[in-house]
Structure 1
Amino acid sequence: MPGRHVTDHQMRLFMTLKQTHSVPVAAAKAGISQATGYRISSNPILPTQKKSPRSRRRPDPLADIFDAEVVPLLKSSPGLRPVAIFEELLRRHSELNPGIRRTLERRIRAWRAEHGPEQEVIFRQIHTPGKMGLSDFTDMGRLGVTIAGQPLEHRLYHFRLAYSGFEHAHVVLGGESYVALAEGLQNALWSLGGVPQEHRTDSLSAAFKNLARAAQDDLTDRVDALCRHYGMTPSRNTKGVAHENGAIEGPHGHLKRAIEDALLMRGSRDFGDLAAYRRFIDEIVGRINARNAKRIDAERAHLAPLPARRTTDHEEVAVRVTSSGGFLLRKVFYTVPSRLIGHQLRVRLYDDRLELFLGSTFLQALRRGRPTPSGSHGHVVNYHHVIHSLRRKPMALMGLVYRDQLFPRRAFGDMFAALLERTGEKAACRMAVDLLALAHDRGCEAELAAQLEEDLRQRRLPDIRALRALFAPPPDTLPGIDVQLADLSSYDRLLGNTPIAEEAAA
């Protein structure tokens, strides 16, 4: 056809049809003109074979430079980036056009493909059902999740079966540790309902960080003991070789992208509490497992049964409650009821909480604190534990090391700062302690904080008498007590002063 080039396919079709048809018929069926058919018959060379190689249309700017200067750089420093070579060439040759960067990069890429060093080869593996389960941690700080407006620095413990793709994720508030691994792994196995033959982790370098050699050996022994309890063979990939854990390293990215998408569709990255965020993560992981339900069910048939019970997923330490009304553990000071001063407590240390025992008696659970990023001590303080002593010594509030953590809500701290500015230290400490005592006695912490916020907006100082009256229990909630006095003569019989005959006659 005029204006259209004949393709190799048309020419091959024409040559085939010409064996059984005339040239005009074969040309018509091949979609070419009759004249083109006769021309092809006399010169049966494919169109692509007739084209001469395209020659360079402009001078090569790297003709005198690449072999003389670039190749020696590539040979002496194989890891050198093309952009660094480009900047060096511009420095050496000011006449070069900056537009040669892409040409240089393509030339370097082609040279490396032909003459460069050998690269690492990734060998894809055949995964057997029920054989391999993998654990790893991944940082979630970039997602910008907040809890009640406060940034949540956390990681995810991530477990995955290599064959079926079953996944489990557990929010970890601290760093990589045995406690986080043991709790997350056991939750995953009991959720799965079975145990794989082998458990693979990375080198646990983050968990070993800053540990003495004896502590590192102890951590290794504890991880191995955990695997033995479930009948799994522990294994670790080579330190620094992430692709050996590739069956979970890649899914890290898929899971984090799924969480990112879910946060965008949710419209907010803030959660009311940690439990709500954990439910959010569980829902996303559940949807992933639902897509692999058939493979997961098939692999369950190859899993070993669970043991009769879980093993320990915590550390246990002993602490003594000091006269400061608390104890120091892992660079964090925790307050407890003052009646425990002088007692030794057993503490079960979990990733997100502490459980306190006096002997074998459970006392209470505390939120687990962390040292500050600067390395100074952290504080987990409950004003209910110390308010009775602060009432007697209110000026102790002024220099208290954990004063900022003592205030249960921000409004209390802001009001104390306003009181210091306008009334002086003594009056400010007395008023702040009275406010904490009112919140403790009347159980009105949230309501009192709202009232203090209003006072701060109005730039007025709190009226403690008015606040006590405001948060006093209403009169109709007080129980009515009807006291009936006994006849005083009845006490004579108890004392034995009434004759028996008179008592009988009565």
Structure 2
Amino acid sequence: MRLFMKFRKTHATAVAAAKASISTATAYRIEKDTRLPSQKKTPRERRRPDPLADIFDTEIVPLLRAASGIRSVAIFEEMLRRHPELGAGIRRTIERRVRSWRAVHGEEQEVIFRQVHEPGRVGLSDFTDMGGAAVTIAGALLDHRLYHFRLAYSGFEHAHVVLGGESFVALAEGLQNALWSLGGVPREHRSDSLSAAFRNLDKDARADVTRRYEELIAHYGMTATRNNAGIAHENGSIEGPHGHLKRALDDALLMRGSTDFDDLAAYRRFVDEIVSRCNARNSKRIDIERAELQDLPVRRTCDYEEVSVRVTSSGGFTLRKVFYTVPSRLIGHRLRVRLFDDRLDIFIGGTPLITLPRGRASRSGKHDQVVDYRHVIHSLRRKPMALLNLVYRDRLFPREAYRRTFDMLIDRLPERQACRTMVELLAMAHERCCESELADQLSLSLKARRLPDMTTLRERFAPDPSRLPNVVVRLGPLNAYETLIGASPELKMAGDAA
């Protein structure tokens, strides 16, 4: 039609119609009414009576004015209660009408102001729960979350697996790992209110955590900022990427074909690989921002909490509702413990002793134990019956095969003999360094439903240390080395004179 009207300005009707590829009759009809087809449509009228004509202004509008935040579905259910004859088909009608009313008469809504991010200015930290990933370590479900760091401008990301809650230790370790892998420091560190780090602590402990956080930020020359409590979108530069990272991890787990990992270190390597892929896509922007970052300090600051404990006569100490065993020679000593998110470093004075995996009490408040059978096996050999009702007996066994073997021994043998046999098995695993191999043999015995043959196991796993031969090493004369290196006569004479 527009093409015909264009040609009609300079040609006759028939010629313009031919050029526009329409019939002459159509051309004459267009000349009589030059409106476009869309302009000729008649307005759509109501096809059925308005079901809300009698109640919208009199009942629904007063509800909207009295409770501005009320949901449309709640109004729908209330109208059905008052007027059962209306039927369920009016739900969409109510929702559309309420939405239109709010657009004209509703309250003002909060506006999101998009920001322009400067390179090297803002780095953001937050924690996100990973319970939905259903990751397992050697078959056991891993209750964990991720510490997530991100630069607002370039999108550089770093993720750190956190086993406990949103503590200061987890924040300090994750933030420092991120900064040192980045190779620089942004001018501002932004987070939420960090209330999760000290919400359940008393006033003095809360002040202590705040002081340590301020010292951490000052060590790296950053300015600490926080978004308003409960306003998640103010931290939107990391809240949104939480979902992207978790979906990337979920996809990678699906392609991997399994959510089970041999150990925690393997799972952490997996997370690091996925995050590095995300960073590779933003490498150009990261390089631009890296040039604007502040220099790192000479060294890291502490990312642990230090406490003092005393080793009791039970051969261990209790810390945060968890009992840890240590070598019995430390009974009565006071130890310094550096408490990390996933481990404890033990010191006596300034001398490092051992590193223990960190345990955590259950959410119900029940105490837990972290037990190493090597710490107590020498005492158990003298008192094997102590194993029968030992408080941490189930934690004592290093592998599942040992626990199941003890259950079979208790079921088939007298208690004294069962305890003595089990203690001898643990001592063999420790003294002959065959914990894994012995567990395999015990698994075979369990599968065959037979008790372990101690004589066969002793013969299989190396000779008894008390029967090892005494080896005498005879040292050769020193002048034999001169023959080996081909020393000259002059050097020999000089050596004799000396």
TM-score higher than 0.5 here? yes
Shift of 1:401: 1.4
Match of 1:143 in 2: 133
Q: Choose 23-32 or 384-393, whichever is displaced more.
A: 23-32
Q: Distance in 2 between matches of 1:163 and 1:25?
A: 62
Aligned counterparts, 1:417-436, within 5 A? 417-436=407-426
Q: Distance in 2 between matches of 1:68 and 1:31?
A: 58
Shift of 1:436: 1.3
Q: Distance in 1 between matches of 2:324 and 2:55?
A: 69
Match of 2:406 in 1: 416
Residue type of the alignment partner of 1:241: I
Q: Distance in 2 between matches of 1:28 and 1:223?
A: 82
Q: Normalising to structure 1: TM-score of the pair?
A: 0.89
Match of 2:394 in 1: 404
Give the one of 197, 213, 234 matched to 1:223.
213
Match of 2:116 in 1: 126
Residues 371-391 of structure 1 show CA distances to partners (whole Å, capped at 9, x for unaligned) of 112111111100000011111
Give the one of 252, 276, 293 matched to 1:262.
252
Residues 417-441 of structure 1 show CA distances to partners (whole Å, capped at 9, x for unaligned) of 2222333433332222222112112
Cα gap change, 1:209/1:426 in structure 2, threshold over 3 Å: closer, same or farther? farther
Q: Distance in 2 between matches of 1:226 and 1:481?
A: 56
Q: Choose 347-356 or 99-108, whichever is displaced more.
A: 99-108
Match of 1:63 in 2: 53
Q: Distance in 1 between matches of 2:222 and 2:37?
A: 65
| SS of residue paired to 2:258 | coil
Cα gap change, 1:261/1:25 in structure 2, threshold over 3 Å: closer, same or farther? farther
Q: Which runs of 5+ in 2 are unaligned?
A: 475-498
Q: Distance in 2 between matches of 1:353 and 1:31?
A: 83
| SS of residue paired to 2:376 | helix
Give the one of 26, 30, 39 matched to 1:49.
39
Aligned counterparts, 1:230-241, within 5 A? 230-241=220-231
Residue type of the alignment partner of 1:204: L
| SS of residue paired to 1:317 | strand
Shift of 1:24: 2.8
Q: Distance in 1 between matches of 2:52 and 2:286?
A: 57
Shift of 1:481: 4.7
Give the one of 17, 24, 28 matched to 1:27.
17
Shift of 1:404: 0.9
Shift of 1:480: 7.7
Match of 2:30 in 1: 40
State yes or no: 1:75 paired with 2:91: no
Match of 1:289 in 2: 279
State yes or no: 1:180 paired with 2:170: yes
Q: Distance in 2 between matches of 1:291 and 1:245?
A: 23
Match of 1:330 in 2: 320
Match of 1:463 in 2: 453
Give the one of 375, 382, 387 matched to 1:392.
382
Q: Choose 408-417 or 224-233, whichever is displaced more.
A: 408-417
Residue type of the alignment partner of 2:205: A
Q: Which runs of 5+ in 1 are unaligned?
A: 1-10, 485-506
Q: Distance in 2 between matches of 1:300 and 1:434?
A: 59
Q: Distance in 1 between matches of 2:402 and 2:446?
A: 10
Match of 1:381 in 2: 371
Residues 81-105 of structure 1 show CA distances to partners (whole Å, capped at 9, x for unaligned) of 2222222223332223323322222
Q: Choose 416-425 or 220-229, whichever is displaced more.
A: 416-425
Q: Distance in 2 between matches of 1:172 and 1:394?
A: 38
Q: Distance in 1 between matches of 2:77 and 2:10?
A: 65
Shift of 1:227: 1.0
State yes or no: 1:195 paired with 2:216: no
Tell me how many residue pairs correspond in the alignment: 473
Match of 1:115 in 2: 105
Shift of 1:478: 6.2
Shift of 1:214: 1.3
Residue type of the alignment partner of 1:384: R
Shift of 1:274: 1.0
Match of 2:151 in 1: 161
| SS of residue paired to 1:54 | coil
Q: Normalising to structure 2: TM-score of the pair?
A: 0.90
Residues 66-94 of structure 1 show CA distances to partners (whole Å, capped at 9, x for unaligned) of 33322222222222222222222233322
Q: Choose 15-24 or 231-240, whichever is displaced more.
A: 15-24
| SS of residue paired to 2:90 | helix
Match of 1:488 in 2: none
Give the one of 62, 76, 91 matched to 2:81.
91
Q: Choose 136-145 or 58-67, whichever is displaced more.
A: 58-67
**RMSD of the alignment, in Å?**
2.1
Match of 2:493 in 1: none
Match of 2:305 in 1: 315
Cα gap change, 1:125/1:24 in structure 2, threshold over 3 Å: closer, same or farther? same
Q: Choose 53-62 or 228-237, whichever is displaced more.
A: 53-62
Q: Distance in 1 between matches of 2:406 and 2:20?
A: 93
Shift of 1:462: 2.2
| SS of residue paired to 1:99 | helix
Cα gap change, 1:480/1:437 in structure 2, threshold over 3 Å: closer, same or farther? closer
Q: Distance in 1 between matches of 2:217 and 2:92?
A: 53
Residue type of the alignment partner of 1:366: L
Residue type of the alignment partner of 1:409: R
